[in-house]
Structure 1
Amino acid sequence: MKKIIRNAIRCKFCGDVIESETVHDFKFCSCKTVAVDGGHEYLRRCFKNFPEDFEDLSVTEEVEDAE
């Protein structure tokens, strides 16, 4: 299982780095081409045209499942 340390992307059009810090913290870049959501709960990316429009800057780490 992966634990999300940082949930962030960089827009390849305007250069903005946007980061979602909490659940439902949905953020667009300034040119509205890409968006990020999910905080440390899930990784959600939205894009206007293509998934190649952003660079993923997220950081995750592998953790053992607690059973």
Structure 2
Amino acid sequence: MVHLSPTVEIAPRKHNLLPSEVEALQQAISNDFMKDQGWSSDEQGRIKNNKGRTIFKPGFVTPIQKTLENNEK
């Protein structure tokens, strides 16, 4: 006998960040800040410096973007 589990959907949670927290996250991944630091992000969310050295591992930028998007909802 096979038991099927019901599908559960979890709605994104609003994080209720303070305005200063939102601003800090936005600034951390902003193009202007990255450029000033000599950094860039890639499609995996990794941040590298202008010499190609990894500053933040893959998956750094994308959760910040998701958090900011979910906070707007």
Q: In which range does the TM-score fall when normalised by the shorter chain?
A: under 0.3
Structure number having the greater helix percentage: 2
Structure number having the greater strand percentage: 1
Superposition TM-score, scaled by structure 2 size: 0.26
Superposition TM-score, scaled by structure 1 size: 0.27
